[in-house]
Structure 1
Amino acid sequence: MENYTYNSFILQLEGLNVSKESVYPVFLFLFFSYLFILVANAGIVILIFIDKNLHEPMYLLFCNLPLNDIIGNSISVPRLLIDMLRPPSERLLSYYECVLQAFTTHMFATASLTVLMIMAFDRYVAICNPLRYAAIMTNKMVIKLTVSAWGVAFVMVGILLGLTIRLNRCRTLIMNPYCDNASLFKLSCDSVFINNVYGLTFTVVLFSASIGSTVLTYTKITVVCLTSNNKSLNSKALKTCSTHLVLYLIMMFSGMSLIALHRFPQFSDYRKLSSVLFHIIPSSLNPIIYGVQSKEIRKFLFKLFEPKKMVPS
């Protein structure tokens, strides 16, 4: 399949290297993980929108995370599941489908961090400036923050993929379970210097902004908690911030592991596995961690599943 046509619009995915004995167990694990991601994340979003008690900035901003998880996984995981049941020679897809998949994959990763950044801002205002929280975190501000999180991700990823699709292609094999930017520009025989420079700049700017804003936010929150004798405030800060911090650390660890493994071709199988788990693990844990921590969400679920008392006629 390699090098059979110059600028071919039909590409081949290498997919996961799974032994014949492991195909169905791995398939079932990924299938049920994907099913759980859809049900759990969609359930959280629906729950927040139907319960007026949850129409608060914290929950409305959090809605961006499960929506991102659903979209990001729905583009890559079903295709991966189908390819697992096909022989390698039949794992074909069009170039445009590959570009769309790469765009969605990078949007998923980038938006996860930008959404967590706006959620950190919300926690900062709530704890460090509680008296002005309602005045600052209005519906208009929630919309602005949401548009900013998705807008920044869209522009950054758009430039990233724009620099890649301008390249001529002389290869057709995608050395990954699904399409991403690195796999796409590796198909080219042109110079990819600009792509590498922008890709590195993209990663450094995104991670620096994310880590810097999170460290700054939590430093100020910690100072406020240490200098305050308000036990209620400290308890609220611990509960809401610990949830946000756990979600953030999971996403950062998953992303950094994947980026690091891209630099070591000898660990290609681990990189492939890591790239799949990068979608599965954070998206599965987000609704569990946030749902279990949130008192309001727990109350709603208990009320929903509480046995109805029969009223005697």
Structure 2
Amino acid sequence: MSNESLGLTPYVSLGTFVIPLGGKYPVFLAGILLYLFCVFCNVTLLAVIVLRRNLHKPVYFILLSLPLNDLMGITAMLPKVLLGVLTETNRIPYPLCVLQAFLLHLYGGGILFILAAMAFDRYVAICMPLRYSAVMTPRTVVCVVALVWSLDLVLITLLFSLQSRLPRCRSVIANVFCDNPSLLKLMCGDTSINNVVGLFNTAVMQAASVSVQAFSYVRILITCMVSRRTHAKKKAINTCVAQLLILIIFEIVGTFTILSHRFQDVSSDVQKIMGVLIFIISPLLNPLVYGLYTSEIRNTLLRLWKNRVFV
């Protein structure tokens, strides 16, 4: 059955935030400044890693994927949400709604896989320092990065390809952005397979990421405890703190977002804000955290700031 026969428009209506009269302009301005700041920080991190030869190492080549993923996530979500705040008519063409949902889910899975790849690199560097160059060869690093993106892309493509078999019979989404659960609510027919695949994808992503990181950081912790070199311990801990911090923050915000939809007492605006935070926290904190905790990036940025120009 076609969308025309169901009386559907080619647009999807999204939810909006309840903002007091006259408050939408400050909210829009603050959101735009936040977006530009996130873009600036992530582009700066990308540029520093690409342009500075002292950062052309396996760990930083893997790290390149993180700002790219963050830029994709925040760009797919925040500008459209801010436009809805400004115009108070949050409509989006259905194909763009599907594209937004696809990119946002790709972003979420990307964070988990990228952090797992970075944890594995730190495990090899700290627990097998003499074999690091032999294990993390340029070919190995390229294969790791390719595996991260291809696995993420395959899982998300599988999830969204199942939607094409179902007709759409609704055009209103309660959320302020498009995601897979919201899109499923627009469909007619049996969505049980979609739900099972969605849970499977989530389980695979979480299990793969958490298991790799847990194994890596436990082995790193054991290595640091038995090591007699105080400087080596401190360097190893500082290296891993940044990645653990990003993972913990992402998981906490994600957990609170899920829980906010499970309790009826939580207002819809709080649920919407928690959903938006998932796509803002990481793009905002990642470049700041890695700039502060990673000595090579921090020192490189300080030298560039003093010189005021890339050389």
SS of the residue aligned with 1:85? helix
The Cα offsets for residues 257-312 of structure 1, whole Å up to 9 and x where unpaired, read as: 2233333455332221011111111110110010011222222222222269xxxx
The alignment's TM-score, normalised by the length of structure 2, stands at: 0.92
The residue correspondences of 1:89-104 to structure 2 (distance < 5 A) are 91-104=90-103
Q: Match of 2:79?
A: 78
Unaligned runs of 5+ in 1: 309-313
1:156-193, CA deviations, whole angstroms, 9 ceiling, x for partnerless residues?
Answer: 11111112232111110011111100110001231211
- TM-score, scaled to structure 1: 0.92
1:31·1:81 contact (CA, 8 Å) conserved in 2? yes
Contact 1:6 1:169 in 2 (8 A): no
Aligned letter for 1:306? K
Q: Percent identity?
A: 38
Compare 193-202 and 147-156 and name the one that shifted more.
Answer: 193-202
After superposition, where does 1:50-129 map in structure 2 within 5 Å? 50-88=51-89, 91-129=90-128
The separation in 2 between residues aligned to 1:4 and 1:73, in whole angstroms, is 36
Are 2:192 and 1:193 equivalent residues in the alignment? yes
Q: For residues 85 and 210 of structure 1, do their structure 2 counterparts lie closer, same or farther at Cα, with a shift above 3 Å needed?
A: same
User: Which residue of the partner structure matches residue 306 of structure 2?
Assistant: 306
- In structure 2, relative to structure 1, the CA distance for the partners of 1:244 and 1:285 (3 Å cut) is same
Would you say how many aligned residue pairs link Structure 1 and Structure 2? Answer: 304
SS for the counterpart of 2:92 is strand
Contact 1:15 1:178 in 2 (8 A): no
Q: How does 1:1-313 map to 2 (within 5 A)?
A: 5-6=6-7, 8-88=9-89, 91-264=90-263, 267=266, 268-306=268-306
| Deviation string, structure 1 residues 178-209 (Cα, Å, up to 9, x no partner) | 11001100012312111111112222222122
Q: Mind listing any 5+ residue stretches in structure 2 that lack a counterpart?
A: none
Q: Distance in 1 between matches of 2:20 and 2:5?
A: 28
Aligned partners of 1:22 and 1:209: how far apart in 2?
Answer: 43
CA distance in 2: counterparts of 1:32 and 1:49, whole angstroms: 25
- Write the letter of the residue equivalent to 2:17: L
User: Any idea what SS the aligned residue of 1:191 has?
Assistant: coil
Whether the 8 Å CA contact 1:164–1:181 is kept in 2: the answer is no
Structure 1: distance between partners of 2:108 and 2:206:
11
What one-letter code is carried by the residue in structure 1 that aligns with 2:246? Answer: L
